[in-house]
Amino acid sequence: MQLTIYCETPYAKEISYLFAKNPNNLHERHEKGHAVRFVYHKLTAHEVEATIFVTPDPLALVGHERAYDITHYINDRSFAASSIFLSLIRKMLGTALNGKPQEQYVAFAEQAFPFSFEFGPIATKLTNEEIQQLFTPLGFSVEIEAISAAQRARFIKISALTTLQQALQQLFVLIPVMDDYKHYFIDEAERERLERYGEGWLEQHPEKDFIYKKALRFRHLINAQPTSTAKPLLSTQRYEAIVEQVKKLPHQSVVDFGAGEGKLTALLSELSTIQELIAVEPSEAAIRKATKRFEELDTVIMPRIQWGSLFYHDYTLAHKDILILCEVIEHINEERLPKIMSMLLQQYAPKALIITTPNADYNKVYKLEEMRHEDHRFEWTRQQFESWCAAMAQNTPYSTTFYGIGEQHTAHGTPTQMCIFKRTEGL
């Protein structure tokens, strides 16, 4: 996956300084195991041409760190210019993106030149006409070359009289719009980045609504203003709802499965009534981040981090008061869940098991045509989730109670659904 930048101008050498890269060197850095390289093909008194490209490590894409949470099977992520590609090249193009070269070249950063940008391959379902409609309102001429007759992957070349910074920022907004496989975990940083890169052009773009929808996916983030009265992120609401349920249950010992970076566990550590708090996580990278987070806690109970997986029995986790699976089950193949539930309810036998998972009904509110996360193996409607929980509780000493988390929609419920399995015998 690559991006080539070309410009023919008497100021070609000055433009090279906007990249902050010595043309005599091959510039290489490694981002999360992937090699990112920047190389000049041509630099004369009148022409400058350079390419930035990524040589991906396929194992890093699906390794334990799960840095991008993509599907764990062979696909075109290793080869397509995507949101992953942009995240890898952002630092290499930092000076050009920020428009802050050495002081003597600032004027050239602010000046428009006849640039061409060729990038790809792009894996997208958008038609050539839809791609044209993204770039032509910005003044670009567009050339599209399909790799095959099916036009599943295409190389795109855009040309315009523009500043280097603005063109790159526009690409950093529009490539994820075209990318079929964008990682749709949305946080404040991504929304702010969209606003920063879109400043001065996105609000006037005739396809603004389409761009926002494809880039952010969740309508409640569109034009949202970060104020003191703004609603907390759904993830925060989810953690807080779980903590409130834990308070109502016997909770001297609590286990957070799939604890990730430890955000929920850290919140639970504020409950002085918990005497044992265990964060179980299979990712070594996440464990390192959780360890750092826990070291900064000023709470009575210090969480214990433990490597572990729901695919393996661990006798040390048996007979705890509460087990928690927060947004975990949807990342597991559905056919493997019954065995996992049998282990949790019969072998671990907690007093309560808390499970949260996305509510597929609510995807209609987001106007999603696909699942919310590329690594989700399924997303269940409320009826499907309730039926599954009832089946898992059958012939066990557990009752089930259901709750919704997040903003309530009259027809589609809440974005997150929760089930609490309570042990009715042997308490």
pLDDT tens for each residue of 110-158: 999 999 999 988 888 889 999 999 999 999 999 999 876 656 678 999 9
Report the distance separating Cα 105 and Cα 103, nearest Å.
5
Three-class SS state of 358: strand
Q: What is the dihedral of CA 215, 220, 225, 226, to 10 degrees?
A: -100
How many angstroms separate the CA atoms of 37 and 51, rounded? 8
Closest CA relative to residue 280, chosen from 241, 252, 253: 253
Q: Specify the 3-state DSSP secondary structure of 19.
A: coil
pLDDT of residue 225: 42
* Paired tokens of 376: 């989700």
Tell the burial category of 215 from Cβ atoms under 10 Å away from its Cβ (0-12, 13-18, 19+): buried
The pLDDT value given to residue 384: 98
Helices (H), 198-344: 208-216, 234-248, 263-268, 284-295, 337-342
Q: Is 174 exposed, middle or buried (0-12, 13-18, 19+ CB in 10 A)?
A: buried
CB atoms within 10 A of CB 222: 15
Q: Which pLDDT score, from 0 to 100, does residue 219 have?
A: 43
pLDDT recorded at residue 185: 43
* Cβ pair 329, 421 in contact under 8 A: no
At 164-196, the pLDDT tens digits run 999 999 999 998 888 765 444 444 456 667 778
> How high is the pLDDT of residue 60?
47
CA distance 50 to 38: 7
Q: Which amino acid is at 68?
A: Y
The CA-based dihedral angle spanning residues 243, 313, 73, 287, taken in that order and rounded to the nearest 10 degrees: 50
Write down the pLDDT at residue 344. 97
Q: In which residue ranges of the chain is pLDDT below 70?
A: 32-33, 56-83, 148-152, 180-192, 217-231, 426-427
Residues 156-173: b if buried by 16+ CB within 10 A, e if exposed: bbbbbebbbbbbbbbbbb
Q: 83: phi > 0 → left, psi -120 to 50 → alpha, else beta; which?
A: alpha
Q: Cα 10–13–16 angle (5° rounding)?
A: 130
- Contacts (Cβ under 8 Å, ≥6 apart) of 228: none
Contact 80, 179 (CB under 8 A): yes
- Report residue 120 as tokens: 């790809």
Polymer length in residues for the chain = 427
pLDDT of residue 414: 96
Distance of CA 75 to the CA centre of its chain: 18
CA distance 44 to 228: 53
Tokens linked to 326:
């927060």
CB 220 within 8 A of CB 296: no
